[in-house]
Amino acid sequence: METDPTLDDAHDIPWPVRRRLLRTGPIRRAWWLQRVPAVFVDVVLHFLVAAVAAAVVDPGSGVAYTITLFVVYIATSFVHRVFLQRWWGATIGRLLVGLRCADPRTGRAPTLRRLAFGWLYGLLATVAEALP
């Protein structure tokens, strides 16, 4: 049985990069009409979980409600965007529109560390944008 020598890995190619990944070309960036609904679904999901948790803690709209809403939103966002995205390969919003998350260098699912730093960067960018 003959094998195709182009399927073998060369010694000069770094470990995570495979020849098949080199033949497939670069990973295309998703179109904005796919990304926007995915982000919208994710944000609404985070807010709904936070609103339900805050309503359980304080049925009124007091300070406890607002603090709980904020803390649970941040925690839900972190768990969803880091742990569940690492496990499923995409967030729920991305899965619904048919997208997946990939490391642009390797084409594989990003590491937990890369997802956590990406989430933290997004949080800091949002806070920096909101400040005067």
Domain spans of the chain, in order of start: 31-130
pLDDT 10s digits, 77-128 = 999 999 999 998 889 999 999 888 887 777 788 899 999 999 999 999 989 9
| Contact criterion met (CB below 8 Å) for 93 and 81 | no
Q: Global pTM? A: 0.73
Kindly give, in sequence order, each residue whose CB lies less than 8 Å from that of residue 109, ignoring residues fewer than 6 positions away: 86, 89, 100, 101, 102, 103
pLDDT band at 4 (very low <50, low <70, confident <90, very high): very low
**What is the token pair recorded at 16?**
């995570």
pLDDT band at 3 (very low <50, low <70, confident <90, very high): very low
What's phi and psi for 31, nearest 5 deg? -70, 150
What end-to-end distance do the CA atoms of the chain give, in Å? Answer: 68
pLDDT 10s digits, 45-62 = 999 999 999 999 888 778
**What is the token pair recorded at 106?**
């390797």
